Amino acid sequence: MNINLEYYRVFYHTARAGSISRAAQGLFISQPAVSQSIKQLEEKIGGQLFFRTRKGIRLTGEGEVLFKYIEQAYNFIMTAENKFSEMQNLAYGEIRIGAGDTLSRYYLLPFLEEFHRAYPGIKIQVTNRTTPETIGLLKNGSVDFGIINLPVSGDDQLEIRETITIQDCFVGGEAYRKLSDSAIPLKELVAYPLLLLEKASNTRRYIDSYAKSHNVEILPEIELGSYDLLVQFARIGLGISCVVKDFVAEEFENGGLYEIRLKEEIPPRKIGVITLKDVPLSAAARKFIKLL
């Protein structure tokens, strides 16, 4: 049965008002328009909905049954509108973020704390994956946006917003402290045991590309899936690790690590926020990205 939903809206307000004139006032339409809508609805469903009394109009038995269900539907609509409004006002909602372990700890964490403090009603879900995996999560709809290490190869589906600049560097513990006295060539560095992230990471690909641009191949002694392990392994002297300089400031200050500078400087790179083009973001996601 194809019935104009506007008829039900008029029916609902008329039943609640108990008067065609009061329903017209509440709906900001004319009395004839109310009467016509009720008549059209009665014709569509094949039965009388109201009858007249001295005090106005009352629902028929069939009309009361119909009103019972229409009232529930109307309440559901009002609840949906309220929830929508709450989401727009950041009182309610959810954000799903994809980011690697390192970026979650050293970059994302302070923003999560600030956002949660300002909008405690927003549920935040963070999925830790590598940059390629985060892009995959975004494309299959598992996350609203991703925070990744740039650069990434051209992808027409992605919209990329650059955030902060980071600097990669090589570091060693006390055993390699003497190497920090002056800059050394990259070809000399690769003669030492090197500790790098696994090849699946965007950071590793960036470092390999940098080395290749200087006609050097890096063959790490140990490959790790954890940034924190790179720092710990370097600290205890297992080799020289490639880390993000911005994220080990505390270790430099405390003397646990020493930067081994290279004559061929590693170019700085960016952290970026990725979203899918032409896919709208929730109000909460837009607000969080603006914070970033």
Q: What's the CA gap between 124 and 18, in Å, rounded?
A: 47
Please provide the CATH number assigned to the domain covering 168-267: 3.40.190.10
* 74 closest CA partner among 3, 1, 6: 6
* 224 closest CA partner among 246, 213, 240: 240
Residue 76 has a pLDDT of 92
Start-end of CATH 1.10.10.10 domains in the chain: 5-88
Structure tokens at 50: 């109201």
pLDDT by residue for the chain (292 residues), tens digit each?
677 889 999 999 999 999 999 999 999 999 999 999 999 999 999 999 999 988 889 999 999 999 999 999 989 998 888 888 888 888 888 999 999 999 999 999 999 999 999 999 999 999 999 899 999 999 999 999 999 999 888 788 999 999 999 999 999 999 999 999 999 999 999 999 999 999 888 899 999 999 999 999 999 999 998 899 999 999 999 999 999 999 998 888 888 899 999 999 999 999 999 999 989 999 999 999 999 9
Structure tokens at 243: 């880390």
Q: What's the CA gap between 66 and 126, in Å, rounded?
A: 46
For the four alpha carbons of 185, 190, 195 and 200, in that order, the dihedral sign comes to: positive
Please provide the CATH number assigned to the domain covering 93-165+271-291: 3.40.190.10
Q: Are 169 and 130 in contact (CB under 8 A)?
A: no
Q: What angle do CA 168, 174, 176 make, to 5 degrees?
A: 60
| 230 burial level (CB within 10 Å; 0-12, 13-18, 19+) | buried
User: Which residues, at least 6 apart from 247, have a Cβ–Cβ distance to it below 8 Å?
Assistant: 102, 106, 166, 227
Place of tokens 């935040």: 124
The residue type found at 177 is: R
Start-end of CATH 3.40.190.10 domains in the chain: 93-165+271-291, 168-267
Give the HSE-up count for residue 273: Cα atoms under 13 Å, Cβ half-sphere. 18
5-88: in CATH 1.10.10.10: yes
Beta strands in the chain (DSSP E): 50-53, 56-59, 93-99, 122-128, 145-149, 158-166, 168-172, 194-197, 222-224, 240-244, 258-260, 269-276
The residue type found at 193 is: P
Pairing of strands 93-99, 145-149: parallel
Q: What's the CA gap between 284 and 87, in Å, rounded?
A: 7
Q: Are 244 and 168 in contact (CB under 8 A)?
A: yes
User: Which residues, at least 6 apart from 220, have a Cβ–Cβ distance to it below 8 Å?
Assistant: 194, 195, 196
